[in-house]
Chain A
Amino acid sequence: MTTRDTLLYLDGVTVTFDGFRALNALSLVLEQGEMRAVIGPNGAGKTTMMDVITGRTRPDTGRVVFGRDTDLTRLDEPAIAALGIGRKFQKPTVFEPHTVWDNLLLALAGDRRPRFTLWARQSAEERTRIEAILATIRLADHARRRAGDLSHGQKQWLEIGMLLAQEPQLLLVDEPVAGMTDAETEQTAELLREINRSRSVVVVEHDMAFVRALGVRVTVLHEGAVLSEGSIDHVSADPRVVEVYLGR
């Protein structure tokens, strides 16, 4: 099943919490360079799926294969991050006491060991990379501000910038536009498409208008398994999806 072009392959992943099946034999394939939107009602298992991919939760059964043959279920969070999987949380979590610049500096791909960071000096190359990211996320004028003083939307962008700084192959983005203004939402869609030119992206989102604006393949989760998959028009026409979202 793992072909050359598959980046991420979830194979029959099951996670139970105290008897509740958060993921029920979930299988999902993500191609190299693909952007995928994942939608589903509350409790469908979207966040648990992210947790399994990033090593926060270990599945009871099933495999998660990254790239050719790396089984992610054997690794912990820092090891998975080092492989090139970045994650953005629903609530923006930037390091509030640090400046925008330092937030990006900490996120830059590089040696993470204490013996390096204890003596590390900021290199010219690091400066250039941070400046480039600041331009991308439109925070160049705010580089020296405390991250805690940024507006909600700016924090979301800074966090996306931090993900870019990590230079991941795969980006997992949890509800990036929650709490954003319409203009910010539009800019975020633009930003994600830009990122997708060089990296694969999985977006979990509630905002259907935003998902439609992204214009990518959509996976609908329900009760821990894939209910439907295809274009946004295809899944919104699927009677089972309509049932889950509107029925009951």
Chain B
Amino acid sequence: MSGRATMVCLVLVLGGAAVMAALNLATPAASALHVPAYAVSLAGKYLCYAMLAVAVDLVWGFAGILSLGHAAFFALGGYAMGMYLMRQIGTRGVYGNAVLPDFMVFLNWKSLPWYWYGFDHPAFAVAMVLLVPGVLALVFGWLAFRSRVGGVYLSIITQALTYALLLAFFRNDMGFGGNNGLTDFKDMFSIPLHLDSTRDGLLLATAVLLAAELLVARHVVTSRFGKVLIAVRDSESRTRFLGYRPESYKLFVFVLSAVMAGVGGALYVPQVGIINPGEFAPANSIEAVIWVAVGGRGTLVGAVLGAVLVNLGKTFFTATLPDLWLFALGALFILVTLLLPGGLLGLGRRRPRAAPVTQAPEPAE
């Protein structure tokens, strides 16, 4: 995870997004250089997935916390943004109710549930995008890390967490639109969402926030904190006897990672135009782990690379050979695990094992 790889990644993400947005706006639709609006939104979606992947890599690659429920934080951030977008619809809904979203009118609800209060204010909604995933991660992590739950047990609990949320959000009584979720958005910050320029703006915003996320994550893992974190990952009890409290380190990074995932989800919703309980599906979280494994665990940049490449593949496969996609994904994961333990980035910088030739060949220990 060198500084140069990070720089290259930042340039590609920011530059790529800027070029796509510019070509979408500045070239006529007939031009060979024209980037259609759907491609802009697709790229934006990939970058949102990349934000989730970086969040997963931060906890898995550097703290050894294999969270198989990280898409839950992504979806919660998405729902918080979706609730704001729903309130923005106002009287333009099918039922024309100024306060109640369509699905509430449909369910014969007379008033807005208390937990929908405030979501008409953008600042409040943004605060919730950060707070809801963050607080859930804080409570969950505090309970899990304090009682020293780790390894595969923690992975299973995170799966249970996202599955429980999936079931809860499916219920109409929860007040989040049940099976259909939240959709039919019109405006964001009073700007119409259907405009090309809005899509370009969202892609650029996603690229900038992904870049910011990468820089924050990089600061965390290269600081002394990050060194402790890697020490915790490799030898937790040893760090305890050195006087560190691994649970504090894990909790901090877990909450930070959940907030990052939530921001990714919040940017995802206006770009795909819908958020529904399917985002909580356990398979989504597992897919995010596969992106990281493919790109290279513990490299941050690899997470971005893996998320974009695997999702490009997914877009291609599900359009041409939809039945084969899950097999392809499974095969990819097995191949990467067996043949490329360092992921794609590991290919580029195989550690020069033979470099310090002053040593005799290491005996098998």
Contact = CB atoms under 8 A, between A and B. Distances in A.
B227 A98 contact: yes
A112 B227 contact: no
Contacts of B244: 78, 112
A181 interface: no
B223 A118 contact: yes
Contact of B356 (A81, A102, A107, A149): A149
A22 B284 CA distance: 47
B240 A118 contact: no
A162 B365 contact: no
Contacts of B248: 113-114
B252 interface: yes
Contacts of A237: none
A117 B241 contact: no
For chain A, the bracket of interface size reads 20 to 34
B238 A93 contact: yes
B223 A119 contact: yes
Nearest to A98: B227
A73 to B, nearest CB: 16
A114 B248 CA distance: 7
Given A114-B252, A118-B220, A106 B240 contact: no
Given A93-B235, A96-B234, A145-B356, A106 B241 contact: no
Given A81-B240, A81-B243, A86-B241, A114 B249 contact: yes
Contacts of A151: 359
A106 B356 contact: no
Interface in A27-50: none
A105 B223 CA distance: 12
B176 to A, nearest CB: 34
A102 B227 contact: yes
Given A81-B240, A87-B241, A112-B245, A117 B356 contact: no
Contact of B242 (A81, A117, A149, A152): A81
Interface in A145-190: 145, 149, 151-152, 162, 166
Interface string B230-262: 110011011111111100110010000000000
Nearest to A95: B231
A112 B228 CA distance: 9
A149 B245 contact: no
A120 B223 contact: yes
A14 interface: no
A210 interface: no
Interface in A62-118: 76-78, 81-82, 86-87, 89, 93, 95-98, 102, 105-107, 112-114, 117-118
Contact of A106 (B231, B245, B359): B231
For chain B, the bracket of interface size reads 20 to 34
A106 B227 contact: yes
A118 B230 CA distance: 13
A82 B238 CA distance: 14
Nearest to A89: B238
Contacts of A97: 230, 234
Contacts of A95: 227, 230-231, 234-235, 238
Interface string A187-198: 000000000000
A151 to B, nearest CB: 8
B223 A117 contact: yes
B224 interface: yes
A82 B239 CA distance: 12
A99 to B, nearest CB: 10
Contacts of B153: none
A96 B230 CA distance: 10
Nearest to B241: A87
A162 B242 contact: yes
B225 interface: yes
A56 interface: yes
Interface string B52-79: 0000000000000000000000000000
A120 B238 CA distance: 21
A107 to B, nearest CB: 6
A219 interface: no
Given A54-B241, A95-B235, A149-B359, A114 B225 contact: yes
The 4 closest A-B pairs by CB, nearest first: A81-B243, A77-B240, A117-B225, A117-B224
20 contacts: A78-B240, A81-B242, A93-B238, A95-B235, A95-B238, A98-B227, A98-B231, A105-B224, A105-B227, A106-B224, A106-B231, A106-B239, A106-B242, A112-B243, A114-B248, A117-B228, A119-B223, A149-B359, A152-B365, A162-B242
Interface of B: 220, 223-225, 227-228, 230-231, 234-235, 237-245, 248-249, 252, 356, 359, 365
